[in-house]
């Protein structure tokens, strides 16, 4: 039996009595005031909690007050930017206090209970997994093609500093996300069924292709990889990895015993992707063909 119906059963015969609203606070500062009657349903002379309205309240507070944790990362000079601990509403503790207000009427103020949410990558871990390079790949692009270069830069920023833990599968589409104009992506040349066309996000396949070769160079397990329907000039034949939001993805799995750190950047006309890990990693590198730069 859920807590909601347990309290309903125990207090079903009690009647709603007028009461001041409940003031909800965060660090002592009021953020909302609610009335008990607004969360009651059924017979007006009895009180049953409107669970739908209560869950809406809880979800609203969670959205308003939660802080997403941020992983530690490396800046462009290789310095560690420390992690940031997040915060989330302690839903169970809040519910217990809210029930005390709603059913027992012995509360007029409710301080929202929060708990810390720690990031997956802290400074200590990052310092360890930046120790040795286990894979790399470099391709070149035309920086005078502004729109395509811009799309490449956005995708590079999306995968840079991403950490793939042992047993995890990396999905290019999941990490980079949908390529939209709202995210800043522009129309540039793409290949569709063997023909050139213009579409949002044109150029990001060079990022996925460069990443594929860096991953293959590190000997990681390729889960999903598809080539374009025609040759692309920035990489040796058969070494590309096409991606599309509603189509193919590039995925690889970290089968090693240590996390893998992706470092991606552009330097002039070069797209450089390197993979790093801990000194104690047990890996088997693989030779891959490099393009003429």
Using only C-alpha atoms, the chain has a radius of gyration, in whole angstroms, of 27
Q: What is the pTM of this model?
A: 0.84
Domain spanning 3-119 has what CATH number? Answer: 3.10.20
Q: Would you state the pLDDT for residue 195?
A: 66
Give me the DSSP letters along 69-136.
-B--EE-TTSPEEPPB-EEEE-HHHHHHHHHIIIII---SEEEPPEEEE--S--HHHHHHHTSEEEEE
User: Sheet harboring 109-111: ordered strands across?
Assistant: 29-34, 22-26, 109-111
Q: Would you state the pLDDT for residue 74?
A: 97
What tens-digit pLDDT sequence spans the chain (293 residues)? Answer: 455 544 444 444 344 444 558 899 999 999 989 888 888 887 656 678 899 999 999 999 999 999 999 999 999 999 999 999 999 999 999 999 998 888 887 778 999 999 999 999 999 999 999 999 999 999 999 999 999 999 999 999 999 999 999 999 999 999 999 999 999 999 888 877 666 777 888 999 999 999 999 999 999 999 999 998 888 999 999 999 999 998 899 999 999 999 999 999 999 999 999 999 999 999 999 999 999 87
DSSP 144: T
CB of 214 closer than 8 Å to CB of 134: no
Domain definitions of the chain by residue range? 3-119, 132-277
Q: Would you state the pLDDT for residue 292?
A: 82
């Amino acid at each position: 039996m859920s807590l909601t119906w347990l309290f309903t059963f125990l207090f079903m015969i009690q009647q709603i009595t007028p009461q001041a609203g409940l003031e909800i606070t965060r660090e002592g500062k009021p953020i909302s005031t609610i009335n008990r009657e607004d969360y009651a349903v059924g017979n007006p002379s009895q009180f049953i909690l409107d669970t739908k309205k209560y869950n809406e309240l809880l979800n609203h507070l969670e959205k308003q007050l939660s802080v997403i944790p941020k992983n530690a990362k490396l800046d462009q000079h290789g310095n560690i930017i420390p992690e940031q601990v997040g915060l989330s509403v302690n839903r169970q503790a809040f519910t217990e206090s809210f029930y005390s207000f709603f059913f027992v009427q012995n509360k007029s103020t409710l301080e929202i209970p929060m708990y810390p949410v720690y990031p997956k990558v802290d400074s200590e871990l990052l310092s360890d997994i930046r120790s040795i390079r286990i894979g790399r790949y470099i391709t070149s692009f035309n920086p005078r093609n502004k729109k395509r270069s811009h799309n490449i830069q956005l995708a590079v920023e999306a995968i840079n500093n991403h950490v793939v833990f042992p047993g995890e599968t990396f999905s290019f589409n999941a990490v980079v996300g949908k390529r939209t104009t709202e995210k800043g992506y522009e129309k540039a040349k793409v290949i569709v069924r063997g023909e050139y066309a213009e579409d949002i996000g044109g150029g990001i396949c060079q990022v996925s292709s460069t990443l594929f070769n860096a991953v293959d160079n590190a000997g990681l397990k390729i889960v999903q990889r598809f080539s374009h329907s025609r040759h692309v000039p920035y990489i040796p034949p058969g070494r590309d990895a096409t991606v599309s939001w509603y189509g193919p993805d590039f995925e690889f799995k970290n089968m090693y015993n240590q996390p893998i750190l992706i470092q991606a950047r552009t330097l002039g006309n070069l797209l450089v992707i390197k993979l790093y890990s801990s000194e104690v990693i047990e890996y088997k590198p693989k030779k891959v063909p490099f393009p003429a730069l």
